[in-house]
Structure 1
Amino acid sequence: MVASRLAVPAPAPTAVQGAPHRARSPVYRGQAQGAFALSSGRVPVLIDGNLRVWDSLAICEYVSERYLGGRGWPSDPQARAVARAVCAQMHADFTCLRRHLPMNLRGEFSWRHVSHAAEADIAQIIALWHACHTAYGQGKPWLFGHFTIADAFFAPVAARFLTYSVPLPPEAARYVDALRSLPAMDAWYAAARNERWRLPQYEALETWLAACPAK
């Protein structure tokens, strides 16, 4: 599984806001080559002419400035600062969630206790969503009123919550549903279903159950 496990926040602002783009999934062995050499094989990589950018937050910043007129962030300075902080935390934190609930857009598992640390990550994410919706959401589906980079960064989390049937309070469940209803998310799921590559450690229900036995 490749496109279904990339660290790129999807749907990216390019897909949601209509900027022209084309996605492709690199599969290689050994040393990274071509467009992916500069990033040492790390994905995602944005290719725009001669430019290569291989960090997801840097990619979103560039797309917002270059193609969206800055609309990737909230216009209000305080909301924008909080949105950036939320993205930075998502970018670097929640490692237990990533470890125990690996990305799998093709899977659908029943919820079970995985670890106290992962469940603490889940609780913190739900609290972040609630705080953003309350302070900046303006009664709209997105964290800061209109769709921003922050929503793009939490789209993979929403996908994990759906894959593993994570129990959510109503507000968080509505937010996950809003993300999943995006056409860009449909395209992401379709790309995952159409992949011909398989990583068994992320595909098999039995593997996940063995790693996370019921308590």
Structure 2
Amino acid sequence: MAQLSLAIPKRWQPATVWLLYGVGLVPAAWTFYLGATDQLGADPVKTFELFLGIWTIRFLIATLAVSPARELFGWNYLRYRRALGLLTFYYALMHFTVYMVLDQAMDINAVINDVLKRPFIMFGMAGLAMLAPLAATSNNFSIRRLGKNWIWLHRLVYIIAACGALHFALSTKILDLEQYIYVGLIIALILYRSWRPIGRSRKKSQGRTRDRAVASAS
């Protein structure tokens, strides 16, 4: 497949990572400002909560798309995957905080009753619980300390993505176009991750077959 180069010069890359953090948090800051100035409509808490949830999904999709983009199109943005993953966690945590503090006023009984009425909330909470250790170990020290276990731990991101998709899809009775698109992208990215080892195994097998054929012919 033809590859389109979208490489960023190395000398700019460290600065662009920090720029990504700054730009990534702008939507949350701006919407908080709109809420604080009474510009989020009749139910600003619900609007803000939904907005943070949608941006969680967007950053999650962007995080999952980094490896396929490199393998399929040659777009190497691995340097930004950690920032995208941490932004996913920050938005998920803000989404949960708004729900607990502003929506439910830290009333645990109200939260339990809400979860019983709307079980999709459990998928969101489970996703956040699994996302927390990934965020805590998204640093070079943890990579060195955990070794191969770090790779296994961070594969939880695909289970987190499934929880996020279920939470997002079940949060409304009727899915809108945006939900179909985001859930579809998450499913496609999970399927791609599942297929990738099979594809690599087939390529290796085909390579060994060609090598044997060449050896037999010589």
Q: TM-score, normalised by structure 1?
A: 0.27
Q: Kindly indicate whether structure 1 or structure 2 has the higher relative contact order, using CA contacts under 8 Å at least 6 residues apart.
A: 1
User: Quick check: which has more Rg, 1 or 2?
Assistant: 2
- More helix per residue: 2
Q: TM-score, normalised by structure 2?
A: 0.27
